[in-house]
Amino acid sequence: MLLLSLTACGGAAEPQTAPTSPATSPPPASGTPLPETKAPETKTPETRAPETKAPETKAPETRAPETRAPTPRPALARPGTVCGEIQPPGGGPMAAVAVAAGRIDCRTALRTFRTYYRADTPKQGSAGVATVGGWLCASNSAAQANISGRLSTCRKAATKIVADVIP
């Protein structure tokens, strides 16, 4: 048998390490060290539960509250206040609507007489008695209106509004 022995330049043998993986190549016989190559790392697949994303919830829209100016209450007219004029049906003389007793806003007084004088408002008897929005209204006869100047009167509780002939 023959024994062969190899020695490197310089007379000392280089220590060799055992290969760590099959992809590592043995060092060259010339003694020139090559950069060490590592085998690619193989990752074992992790078994994680699939990510569940919580549904996005939008915060409720917060709007600034509407800032409406409070509706001012109409000023209540006192007895003796003339609220306005209306034209009674049948082409009669213009009438001034006024507060005779109690307190009421003029818009309500005018609306009450306009509704009372409408042809489709049901009236009873020769005085034309009718209830309009809680007001009990009645008219004087033409002869009485000529003497007193008062065409109609409406009452609700202690409040009394009148429609008087404008001279």
Mean pLDDT per 10-residue segment, the chain (167 residues): 44 47 50 57 58 62 65 83 91 91 96 95 96 96 92 97 94
The pLDDT value recorded for residue 97 is 97
Instruction: Let me know if residue 111 belongs to a domain.
Output: yes
Domain count, the chain: 1
The pLDDT value recorded for residue 3 is 46
Boundaries of domain holding 161: 76-165
Instruction: Let me know if residue 55 belongs to a domain.
Output: no
Instruction: Let me know if residue 138 belongs to a domain.
Output: yes
The pLDDT value recorded for residue 42 is 58
Instruction: Let me know if residue 59 belongs to a domain.
Output: no
Residues 6+ apart with CB under 8 A from 81: 98, 99, 106
pTM given for the model = 0.57
